[in-house]
Amino acid sequence: MIETLFREGKAFSIFPYRVIYMHASLHTDKYPVQAGFSVSSRKFPHAVDRNRIKRLGREAYRLQKQPFHTALRDSGLQLAVFFIYTDKKIADFDTLSRKFSVILEKLVKEAGKKE
RNA sequence: CGGCAUAGCGGCGCUAUCGUCUUUGCUGCGCAAGCGGCAGGGAAGGAAAGUCCGGACAGCAUAGGGCAACGCACCACCUAACGGGUGGGGCGCCUGUGAAAACAGGCGUACAGAAAGUGCCACAGAAAAUUACUUCCUCAGGGCAACCUGCGGUAAAGGUGAAAAUGUGGGGUAAGAGCCCACAUCCCGGAAUGGUAACAUUAUGGGAGGGUAAACCUUGCGUGCUGAAAUGCCAUGUAAACGGUCGUUUGAGGGCUGCCCGCCUGAUGACCGAGGGUAGGCAGAUACAGGCGCUCAGUGAUGAGCGUCGCAGAUAAAUGAUAGCGGCCGAUGCGAAAGCAAAGGCACAGAAUCCGGCUUAUAAGCUAUGCCGGGUG
RNA sequence: UUUCCUGUGGUGUAAUGGCAGCACGUCUGAUUUUGGUUCAGAAGAUCGUGGUUCAAGUCCAUGCAGGAAAA
């Protein structure tokens, strides 16, 4: 699924993330979306920094995913999404929270529009 | 008292809420694999890092012989093992005492062999190792003489160089020379004393004369090869098809080793080409050369005994967020001072088969040593 | 996870242990009305730190950076 996502998915960028998504059938109705997080080891050579960024991103996503899920459920969509960190510095948690509210809004809009 | 440098120790804590991974018990659904629920337990490091060494473990002939290749190199000990560590010896440097010799302390040390052989030693210099340019000396010839030429001798003196044919004194000689002698330096042999040994000291016999082995090499010792993507098992799926080459007891090829020998295996076989398929799971895999405490042995590394604890186990890869309280540092402000308040900061860094080392990174605080500055006596 | 290789001016490359060269590029000047071409000249480097050696880009150790291979 990850391979097809990177080959066929659609993408947009909201700094500091590049978002890749596609419509997918997840064979379950417990959750309407599967998400992955990634950080380039070229930009962050230390494993500690990569882990830190992925943890902060996951936490920011986790705290805001409920409205996102309900919006997808209402329109009957299922998504596979990948978030790739593109900045060269480590952002703090507050910035990432604000960015994720923007990103998730845009995701709902983009996904709905295509259908 | 303060600052800096270098070594070593050290590596922030507690509570709540929401989450992640794992595990135990009970339990729901399911034939099962598994998916859930409730309650509890556990969850990164001193370097987890670099991958520089050594092992465990696994597979291959239970790994045999020779060559090659590679590694190590004072001695003893520790250790599963090591290129690691501890203690000792030699050498070098620094400091102190001392007139000096020497002694004490600290630090460093890849420290076998240059007297088996080969090579190399730029520039300069006569010569860089079987030396001979100038000087010096005998003899012969020439010349009135100063001196010149030639055959020889010699290596004492000579501006160089990183390094110059062992240094000082004496004898000896035509002039000289370890040519001879004494003292000094070093090597080899056996001897005595001390020490397990390296080695030290003493006397003695024989001898040596540049450096370089992190140049080739010699000597001694050691290393079988490949690495968890090892290895074993289960599941899914395809093509036991097609073309070519070689071969079937006169043996193709294979057996994870650079070459040779030897050994084993070997026929519905092996290799090449083109093409088709899989991309999952389980074991290995987290109990141990384990951690902590005490006692004993040892100078020490370390070992022995007893008690006690159970302490990550993921597989694109789990530890985070928020709030509160506390610990340490603290720009700055207030204050005569003691002190009070306080923004902010708390390093280096994330397990991936496991363990022992080495190396590198590292904030605050603490300890030791050295240097610098200030104050007081 | 394991194994291996390579680091020389801005770029590409040489250098039996003995004064680090070459080409392109850069800068300055000359030639030209100007630019180019051409000519003359200059600056600029051995990945870092230690060690062996009289002497290190080269030999050794260690670190750093980059790259490659293994189902």
Answer yes or no: is A115 within a domain.
Answer: no
Distance CA A73, CA A92 (A): 31
- Residue A102 belongs to some domain of the structure: yes
Domain annotation covers residue A16 = yes
d(CA A20, CA A107): 10
Residue A98's contacts (CB-CB under 8 Å, 6 or more residues apart) are none
Query: Into how many domains does chain A fold?
Result: 1
Question: Which residues, including other chains, have CB under 8 Å from residue A44's CB and lie 6 or more apart?
Answer: A50, A53
Instruction: State whether the beta carbon of A43 lies below 7 angstroms from any atom of strand B.
Output: no
Q: Is the CB of A59 under 7 A from strand B?
A: yes
Provide the CA A54 to C1' B69 distance, Å, integer.
49
* Range of the structural domain that residue A64 is part of: 2-110
Higher pLDDT pick, A113 / A83? A83
**How many Å from the N-terminal Cα to the C-terminal Cα in chain A?**
21
The pLDDT of residue A115 is: 46
Is residue A61 situated within a structural domain? yes
A98 touches strand B (CB under 7 A): no
A28 part of a folded domain: yes
Give the nucleotide nearest to A50 (CA→C1').
Answer: B350
Structure-token match 């209402």, residue found: A74
Contact predicate A86/A47, CB 8 Å: no
Would the pLDDT of A26 be above 80? no
CATH number at A9 reads: 3.30.230.10
Chain B footprint positions (protein CB, under 7 Å): 19, 44, 316-322, 349-351
Is the CB of residue A42 inside 7 Å of nucleic acid strand B?
A: no
**pLDDT tens for residues A36-79?**
888 877 778 788 888 888 888 888 888 888 888 888 888 888 88
